[in-house]
């Protein structure tokens, strides 16, 4: 099990080597009074295609096309190389012309989501482990439903036993919102403890109005809320680990499609 | 057992010669005969034991003869094994669109095409041989005659059967479970001597030569050592039963502070090495087949008999089941120590570690993970829970994943529910058709879907719940029902096969982009985790 940073060393060196080759090639083309943008453009397109091939690799589990860990390292290094070649090709962050701007927009979206993805795969797995709970993403809705059922049962039992509706009213007014679905999504993503603070404050707010009979029910309710907090944290982190690809992959496909059209246009008008 | 069979067994000279008075009232000989023995009647071609099977019983021929197919051996296909062939590119390409969305689809016509001889429709492939005369012509065979005892090595030592034995003509054979055999050996000296002598004659010498400190001793010394070795077994053979119930056995073999009287060599199974720590016991390491305990102390005692530091430093206990060879101290003093240098005590290194560093070992031994040679371990600090591993597994198994990405977690390590391809494969004990077996090529534990009869013996035995029984469906997606007998869905045992036949090794490992999933032998895992 080799850390990502270590796995990136060779691909980064390889990418740097490729960039050096392109640099020299471009110099030669300029010396021969050719159009260097053709060379850098095709080079960039080849790199983008290679980056897109990573997604195809995932579908080819039955074939021995190299381990995915090597592909990912090459994908990340290739992404950095693509940014360098893009700047080398366009000479600017933001080109002129609407078509080029569409192309650049797609390129930068894919690049930014890619960087975001790298951050996600580095940060969130550890955060999930530290939460001390492990749950399959698909099971989260049923777990939340189960906790809500148990919470509501506690509230009903409290009312039946004490004859008071204080806790039930408080639950309907405030805590029901918390138990209904995953909450504090962004807060979990940034590593906050908003949920814990919210639970504590809403628990404290009602405690002073409860009798000795009702207090144990509140304690159990808060412990269920803590259980849900751990699940919500899992939900937020696992969700972002899946959702970032929803932006990265479709925009990548669009980028490849528009790049093909760009190549056709360039060669048609170059003639 | 029927009364007639019971009487027949009691009348046999081998049983009659056992001194019934030597057995305690709580464990009478009659009880052992009735409940630990059975009489099997074999027809021509029936397989009694298959080469490579893990068995838990020994056999005594009562009537007729049996045949050992010595060389070149019965073809694996006839024994109900899978021949793992490298899967071609075309088949793999086809799997891109041919994998079924319906779970566990099978070509059920294939089961029907399995050749069964007309007169024996109830006999499953893997349980009998078809063309016995041809086998007799082509094989170098040995005939076992009435009164021969065999299979005791596999029954007592948890080693695979070394050869295939079948009936050429009808034969009656007594089968005795390992528990009964062990009890008889415990209370009857003649049986004990007979079985120990059999082991001494057949396997012990070659085994002793594989032990480091004995590899250099002369033939003469080796014979003397073998002559005095004692054989001991601790724990229960079916340790998986008590383990699954949450009450694992761990009998002590030698205690910290005892004086050693012999070198303990682990022949099969695993033992825990622990020491007193605070009010509990701290696990330092575990010993597996071929490991020794007590050598350092015995050498010290031989070198300097006046030394005061000769007691055992650690307690050694059986992790479920362990088979031990005890080489007495006097034998070592005479035949071994004069010829070797002072041995290094590897267990002392373990004392340099702190308890936090040993916590993983403690946890893993409690879960009995030392058994795994290909445990699926996921580093949760790297895993992004994308399930690419599960999808890759499904893609290589006709759309059906063969493991679950869940399981016990220690720190940031998850041991997923995937077959660990154990050193001590308890799942292989008792399979009636030999469908679950170890591949000869790589040691992988495989299930032959064609010969699996869905009895669930393997799934019930697996201590880690890594074998799953599934109802199968035909190509139309309709569950296949056993219309002839029970009317219930036909089940098959399924588990990870390490992607046998696929180039590049397990697809799950290759599919993980974050290098979070690896298949480990437990000792290597410990090293990795320490790093």
Q: Which positions in chain B touch A66 (Cβ < 8 Å)? A: 510
| Reported confidence tier of residue B121, pLDDT bands at 50, 70, 90 | very low
Please tell me which residue of chain B has the smallest CA distance to A133.
B409
Flag whether pLDDT at A215 surpasses 80: yes
Whether the Cβ atoms of residue B199 and residue B206 lie closer than 8 Å to each other: no
Higher per-residue pLDDT: B88 or B166: B166
Higher per-residue pLDDT: B206 or B296: B296
Asked if the bond preceding B72 is cis, omega within 30° of 0, the reply is yes
With an 8 Å Cβ cutoff, are A61 and B511 in contact? yes
| Reported confidence tier of residue B200, pLDDT bands at 50, 70, 90 | confident
Please tell me which residue of chain A has the smallest CA distance to B502.
A62
Residue B124, pLDDT score: 58
User: What is the residue-averaged pLDDT of chain B?
Assistant: 86
* CA distance, residue A247 to nearest chain B CA (Å): 16
| Reported confidence tier of residue A111, pLDDT bands at 50, 70, 90 | very high
**Whether residue A112 is found in the same domain as residue A18:** yes
**Whether residue A98 is found in the same domain as residue A39:** yes
Residue A232, pLDDT score: 95
> Does B409 touch chain A if contact means CB atoms closer than 8 Å?
yes
**Whether residue A214 is found in the same domain as residue A128:** no
> Does B499 touch chain A if contact means CB atoms closer than 8 Å?
no
Residues of chain B with pLDDT > 70: what percent? 96
* CA distance, residue B126 to nearest chain A CA (Å): 30
**Whether residue A72 is found in the same domain as residue A182:** no
Flag whether pLDDT at B340 surpasses 70: yes
Interface of A with B (CB under 8 A): 1-2, 4, 7, 58-64, 66-69, 71-72, 120-121, 124-126, 128-129, 134, 136-137, 238, 241-242
Q: What SS3 class is residue B50? A: coil
Q: Which positions in chain A touch B380 (Cβ < 8 Å)? A: 125, 128-129, 134
Find the Cα–Cα–Cα–Cα dihedral B358, B362, B368, B373, rounded to 10°: -10
For the segment B269-274, the average pLDDT, to the nearest whole number, is 92
Sign, CA dihedral B273-B275-B278-B281, equals positive
Cβ atoms < 10 Å from Cβ of B456: 15
Indicate which of B515, B516, B518, B528 best probes the interface with A, i.e. most A CBs within 10 Å of its own CB: B515
Residue B122, pLDDT score: 52
Flag whether pLDDT at B160 surpasses 50: yes
With an 8 Å Cβ cutoff, are B409 and A134 in contact? yes
With an 8 Å Cβ cutoff, are A61 and B405 in contact? no
Flag whether pLDDT at B344 surpasses 50: yes
> Does B510 touch chain A if contact means CB atoms closer than 8 Å?
yes
User: What is the residue-averaged pLDDT of chain A?
Assistant: 94
**Whether residue A41 is found in the same domain as residue A83:** yes
Write the pLDDT tens digit of every residue in A9-37: 999 999 999 999 999 999 999 998 888 99
Higher per-residue pLDDT: B374 or B95: B374
Please tell me which residue of chain A has the smallest CA distance to B414.
A134
Residue B125, pLDDT score: 56
Of A62, A72, A238, the CB nearest to B396: A62
Q: Which positions in chain B touch A120 (Cβ < 8 Å)? A: 384
Among A99-103, B26-30, B470-474, the range scoring the smallest mean pLDDT is: B26-30
Residue B83, pLDDT score: 67
With an 8 Å Cβ cutoff, are B510 and A1 in contact? no
Q: Which positions in chain A touch B92 (Cβ < 8 Å)? A: 62-63
Residue A129, pLDDT score: 92
Q: Which positions in chain A touch B384 (Cβ < 8 Å)? A: 120-121, 124-125, 241
Residue B387, pLDDT score: 93
Extract the tokens encoding B442. Answer: 């790589």
> Does B94 touch chain A if contact means CB atoms closer than 8 Å?
no
Q: What SS3 class is residue B127? A: coil
* CA distance, residue B134 to nearest chain A CA (Å): 40
For the segment B457-479, the average pLDDT, to the nearest whole number, is 93
With 0-12 CB in 10 A as exposed, 13-18 as middle and 19+ as buried, what is B114?
exposed
Question: CB under 8 Å to B529, separation ≥6 — which residues?
Answer: B360, B413
When divided into structural domains, chain A yields a total of 2
Q: Which positions in chain A touch B509 (Cβ < 8 Å)? A: 67
| Reported confidence tier of residue B87, pLDDT bands at 50, 70, 90 | confident
Residues of chain A with pLDDT > 90: what percent? 89
Go through chain A and tell me how many residues it has: 271
Residue B126, pLDDT score: 59
Range of A101's domain? 4-132+245-270
**Whether residue A13 is found in the same domain as residue A90:** yes
With an 8 Å Cβ cutoff, are B380 and A128 in contact? yes
Q: Which positions in chain B touch A57 (Cβ < 8 Å)? A: none
Whether the Cβ atoms of residue B61 and residue B148 lie closer than 8 Å to each other: yes
**Whether residue A111 is found in the same domain as residue A232:** no
Flag whether pLDDT at B123 surpasses 60: no
Please tell me which residue of chain A has the smallest CA distance to B378.
A1
CA R_g for chain A: 27
Write the pLDDT tens digit of every residue in B494-520: 999 999 888 888 999 999 999 999 999
With an 8 Å Cβ cutoff, are A241 and B511 in contact? no
For the segment B58-65, the average pLDDT, to the nearest whole number, is 92
Residue B464, pLDDT score: 94
**Whether residue A76 is found in the same domain as residue A175:** no
Residue A271, pLDDT score: 59
- Strand B140-144 with B37-42, pairing: unpaired
How is residue B230 annotated by DSSP? E
Write the pLDDT tens digit of every residue in B209-243: 788 888 778 888 888 888 888 888 888 777 888 88
Tokens 């569950």, residue? B479
Residue A10, pLDDT score: 96
Q: Which positions in chain A touch B96 (Cβ < 8 Å)? A: 59-60, 62
**Whether residue A113 is found in the same domain as residue A87:** yes
Q: What is the residue-wise DSSP string for B383-431?
A: -----HHHHHHHHTTTT--SSBS---EETTEEE-BS----SS-GGGTT-
| Reported confidence tier of residue A240, pLDDT bands at 50, 70, 90 | very high
Write the pLDDT tens digit of every residue in B369-398: 999 999 999 999 999 999 999 999 999 998
Residue B119, pLDDT score: 42
Domains of chain B plus CATH, in order, are 3-74+139-185 (2.60.120.10), 196-352 (2.60.120.10), 364-530 (no CATH)
Please tell me which residue of chain A has the smallest CA distance to B499.
A62
Q: Which positions in chain A touch B95 (Cβ < 8 Å)? A: 62
For the segment B32-36, the average pLDDT, to the nearest whole number, is 90
* Cβ pairs bridging A and B (under 8 Å): 84
Of A62, A121, A128, the CB nearest to B395: A62
For the segment A228-242, the average pLDDT, to the nearest whole number, is 95
**Whether residue A35 is found in the same domain as residue A91:** yes
Flag whether pLDDT at B86 surpasses 50: yes
Flag whether pLDDT at A96 surpasses 70: yes
With an 8 Å Cβ cutoff, are B92 and A7 in contact? no
Q: What whole-number distance in Å separates Cα of residue B194 and Cα of residue B14? A: 11
Of B395, B504, B513, the CB nearest to A72: B513
Helix (H) or strand (E) holding B197: helix B189-199
With an 8 Å Cβ cutoff, are A137 and B385 in contact? yes
Flag whether pLDDT at B116 surpasses 50: no
**Whether residue A30 is found in the same domain as residue A116:** yes
Please tell me which residue of chain B has the smallest CA distance to A127.
B381
Please tell me which residue of chain B has the smallest CA distance to A124.
B384
With an 8 Å Cβ cutoff, are B386 and A126 in contact? no
For the segment A52-65, the average pLDDT, to the nearest whole number, is 89
Whether the Cβ atoms of residue A239 and residue A128 lie closer than 8 Å to each other: no
For the segment B427-446, the average pLDDT, to the nearest whole number, is 82
Q: What whole-number distance in Å separates Cα of residue B162 and Cα of residue B155? A: 12
**Whether residue A123 is found in the same domain as residue A34:** yes
Q: Which positions in chain A touch B395 (Cβ < 8 Å)? A: 61-62
Please tell me which residue of chain A has the smallest CA distance to B411.
A129
Q: What SS3 class is residue B219? A: helix
Extract the tokens encoding B221. Answer: 């010394």
Extract the tokens encoding B431. Answer: 């399979």
């Amino acid at each position: 099990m080799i850390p990502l940073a270590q796995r990136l060393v060779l691909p980064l060196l390889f990418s740097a080597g490729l960039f050096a080759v392109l640099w020299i090639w471009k110099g030669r083309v300029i010396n021969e009074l050719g159009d260097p943008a053709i060379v850098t453009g095709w080079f960039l397109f080849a790199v983008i295609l290679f980056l897109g091939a990573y997604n195809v690799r995932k579908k080819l589990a039955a074939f021995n096309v190299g381990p995915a860990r090597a592909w990912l390292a090459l994908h990340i290094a290739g992404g950095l190389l693509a940014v360098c070649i893009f700047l080398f090709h366009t000479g600017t962050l933001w080109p002129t012309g609407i078509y080029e701007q569409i192309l650049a927009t797609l390129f930068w979206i894919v690049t930014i989501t890619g960087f975001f993805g790298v951050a996600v795969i580095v940060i969130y797995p550890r955060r999930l482990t530290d939460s001390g709970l492990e749950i399959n993403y698909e099971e989260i809705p049923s777990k939340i439903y189960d906790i809500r059922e148990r919470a509501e049962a506690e509230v009903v039992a409290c009312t039946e036993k004490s004859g008071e509706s204080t806790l039930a009213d408080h639950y309907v007014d405030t805590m029901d919102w918390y138990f209904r679905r995953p909450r504090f999504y962004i807060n979990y993503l940034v590593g906050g403890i908003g949920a814990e603070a919210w639970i504590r404050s809403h628990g404290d707010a009602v405690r002073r109005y409860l009798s000795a009979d009702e207090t144990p029910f509140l304690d159990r309710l808060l412990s269920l809320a803590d259980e849900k907090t751990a699940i919500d944290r899992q939900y937020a982190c696992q969700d972002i680990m899946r959702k970032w690809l929803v932006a990265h992959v479709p925009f990548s496909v669009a980028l490849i499609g528009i790049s093909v059209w760009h190549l056709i246009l360039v060669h048609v008008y170059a003639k | 057992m029927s009364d007639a069979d019971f009487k027949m067994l009691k009348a046999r000279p081998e049983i009659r010669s056992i001194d019934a008075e030597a057995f305690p009232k709580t464990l009478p000989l009659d009880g052992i005969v009735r409940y630990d023995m059975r009489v099997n009647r074999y027809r021509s071609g029936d397989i009694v034991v298959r080469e490579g099977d893990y068995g838990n019983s020994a056999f005594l021929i009562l009537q007729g003869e049996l045949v050992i197919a010595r060389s070149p051996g019965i073809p694996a296909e006839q024994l109900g094994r899978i021949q793992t062939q490298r899967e071609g590119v075309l088949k793999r390409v086809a799997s891109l669109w041919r994998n079924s969305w319906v779970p566990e689809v099978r070509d059920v016509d294939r089961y029907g095409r399995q050749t069964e001889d007309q007169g024996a429709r109830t006999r499953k492939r893997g349980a009998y041989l078809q063309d016995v005369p041809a086998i007799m012509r082509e094989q170098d065979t040995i005939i076992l005659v009435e009164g021969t005892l065999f299979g005791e090595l596999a029954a007592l030592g948890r080693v695979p059967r070394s050869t295939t034995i079948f009936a050429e003509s009808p034969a009656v054979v007594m089968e005795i479970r390992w528990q009964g055999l062990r009890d008889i050996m415990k209370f009857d000296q003649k049986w004990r001597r007979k079985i120990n002598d059999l082991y001494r004659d057949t396997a012990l010498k070659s085994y002793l030569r594989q032990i480091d400190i004995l590899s250099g001793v002369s033939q003469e010394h080796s014979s003397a050592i073998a002559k005095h070795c004692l054989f001991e077994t601790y724990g229960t053979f079916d340790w998986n039963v008590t383990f699954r119930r949450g009450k694992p056995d761990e009998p002590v073999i030698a205690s910290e502070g005892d004086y050693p009287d012999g070198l303990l060599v682990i022949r099969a199974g695993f033992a825990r090495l622990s020491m007193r720590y605070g009010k509990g016991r701290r696990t330092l390491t575990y010993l597996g087949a071929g490991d020794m305990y007590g050598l350092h102390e015995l050498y010290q005692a031989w070198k300097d008999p006046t030394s005061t530091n000769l007691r055992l430093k650690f307690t050694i206990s059986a992790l479920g089941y362990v088979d031990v060879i005890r080489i007495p101290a006097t034998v070592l003093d005479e035949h071994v120590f004069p010829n070797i240098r002072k041995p290094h005590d590897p267990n002392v290194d373990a004392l340099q570690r702190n308890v936090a560093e040993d916590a993983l070992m403690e946890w893993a031994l409690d879960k009995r993970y030392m058994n795994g040679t290909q445990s699926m371990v996921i580093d949760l600090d790297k895993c992004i829970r994308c399930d690419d591993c599960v999808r890759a597994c499904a893609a290589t198994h006709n759309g059906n994943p063969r493991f679950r990405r869940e399981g016990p977690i220690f720190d940031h390590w998850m041991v997923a529910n995937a077959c660990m391809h154990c050193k001590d494969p308890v799942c292989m004990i008792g399979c009636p058709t030999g469908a679950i077996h170890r591949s000869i090529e790589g040691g992988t534990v495989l299930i032959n879907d064609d010969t699996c009869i869905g009895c669930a013996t393997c799934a019930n035995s697996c201590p880690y719940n890594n074998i799953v029984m599934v109802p199968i469906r035909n190509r139309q997606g309709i569950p296949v029902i056993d219309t002839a007998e029970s009317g219930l869905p036909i089940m098959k045992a399924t588990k990870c096969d390490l992607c046998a036949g696929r180039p590049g090794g397990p697809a799950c490992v290759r599919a993980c982009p974050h290098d979070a999933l690896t298949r480990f032998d437990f000792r290597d895992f410990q090293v990795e985790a320490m790093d």
